Structure 1
Amino acid sequence: MTGKSLLMIVGDFGEDYEIMVPFQALQAVGHEVDAVCPEKDEGETIKTAIHDFRGDQTYMESRGHDFQLTATFDDIDVDTYDGLVLPGGRAPEYLRNYDAVIDAVQSFDEEDKPIAAICHAAQILTAADVIDGRTCTAYPALEADVRDAGGDWEEGIAVDGNLVTAQAWPDHPGWIEAFLDVLGTEIDHQEPMAADD
């Protein structure tokens, strides 16, 4: 398998698990991931937030980790990447207001390159106007936003062409698996060697 070059757009108070887990999992299977944030440079950090589901009407939020950026947003060329990852959390609320973020999302979509978006990242997708007439999902409280943008709502994990969406970090196993499938990633599961081999 030849690893793909992937872009992840993050921001302050993005959801911790939705940044850390795919960032590490995608690298673990051989892909290269550049994590960028508008107005921040390679080596700088963003603050993450942890969203927990404890039976309340919505999630509760706690301070997460500091996450180090691996590239500078202003220096990247989106055309050189094979896929895009958009984590959720509070960051999409403001990231969707950057023209460069919207341009990047639209570029990936126009080129039919894989896009993985989870939870509140749907706020970026709706701002980029890429879900009209497509099946997708998001954090359940955003169902109205998805429908207002012309999307066909689906529970759980949704795959529509190059677009792979999920509702929140508990969906990681299926969401990451679906994204890897759309990327064309093949993983060879080998039997472990016996101790006497």
Structure 2
Amino acid sequence: MSAKKILMLVGDFVEDYEVMVPFQMLIMAGHTVHAVCPGKKAGEKVRTAVHDFEGDQTYSEKPGHNFTLNAAFDEVKAEGYDGLVIPGGRAPEYLRLNEKVLAMTRHFADAKKPIAAICHGPQILAAAGVVKGKTCIAYPAVQPDLVIAGATLGKINETFSNAVVDGNLVTAPAWPAHPEWMRKFLELLGTKIEL
């Protein structure tokens, strides 16, 4: 397996598990991950939020940890990366307003490089116009954005633990899907983990 360079797009109030766990899993698998946020540099932090499913009509939100960025948004070039990860939380809602974020996302889609998006992360995919004709899933409240952008919705299982692959794109509804979502993303990257 050759190590890959992965770009992770994050922002304030990214979902805590959806940034921390994939970041650590991808590094554990031998890849380099650069986590970036518009307007911030390496060493600066984004605040995270913990979203949980506690029987309410929507997820609950609690303060998470601070997540330290390890690269500067303004210095990264999408062309230098092999894959893209877009965690959820509230960050995608405003990150999709940044044209450079959308241009980066379009680069990965146009080059057919692996893209992993989870929960609210597909809001960026929809805003970038890269889901037309693709089958994907997201947190249920985000799925109308996907439909409007021309995607076909895949099925979400009862425990929100599944992921859907269509070409170079792997999407999932929420952090309970991490094992399947990351396994499928690693497969797209060509990463083999021997047990």
Please report the TM-score for the alignment, with normalisation by the length of structure 1. 0.95
1:111 aligned partner, one-letter code: A
3-state secondary structure, aligned to 1:176: helix
CA RMSD of superposed structures (Å): 0.6
Q: Tell me the distance in 2 between the aligned counterparts of 1:166 and 1:11.
A: 19
1:145 aligned partner, one-letter code: D
Q: Name which of 182, 185, 195 aligns with 2:191.
A: 185
Q: Which residue of the partner structure matches residue 105 of structure 1? A: 105
Q: Which residue of the partner structure matches residue 22 of structure 1? A: 22
Aligned identity (percent) is: 57
Q: Which residue of the partner structure matches residue 57 of structure 1? A: 57
Deviations along 1:25-51, one digit per CA (max 9) or x if unpaired, are 000010000000000000000000000
Structure 2 residue 169 is matched with structure 1 residue 163: yes
Q: Tell me the distance in 2 between the aligned counterparts of 1:73 and 1:120.
A: 20
Q: Tell me the distance in 2 between the aligned counterparts of 1:91 and 1:69.
A: 14
Between the two proteins, the alignment pairs up a number of residues equal to: 189
Q: How does 1:121-160 map to 2 (within 5 A)?
A: 121-156=121-156, 157-160=163-166
3-state secondary structure, aligned to 2:120: helix
Q: Tell me the distance in 1 between the aligned counterparts of 2:148 and 2:128.
A: 13
Deviations along 1:61-112, one digit per CA (max 9) or x if unpaired, are 0000000000000011110100000000000010000010000000011000
Q: Tell me the distance in 2 between the aligned counterparts of 1:23 and 1:155.
A: 26
Q: Tell me the distance in 1 between the aligned counterparts of 2:55 and 2:131.
A: 30
Residue segments in structure 2 that go unaligned for 5+ positions in a row: 157-162
Q: How does 1:79-90 map to 2 (within 5 A)?
A: 79-90=79-90
Q: Which residue of the partner structure matches residue 193 of structure 1? A: none
Residue segments in structure 1 that go unaligned for 5+ positions in a row: 190-197
1:97 aligned partner, one-letter code: L
3-state secondary structure, aligned to 1:120: coil
Please report the TM-score for the alignment, with normalisation by the length of structure 2. 0.96
2:122 aligned partner, one-letter code: A
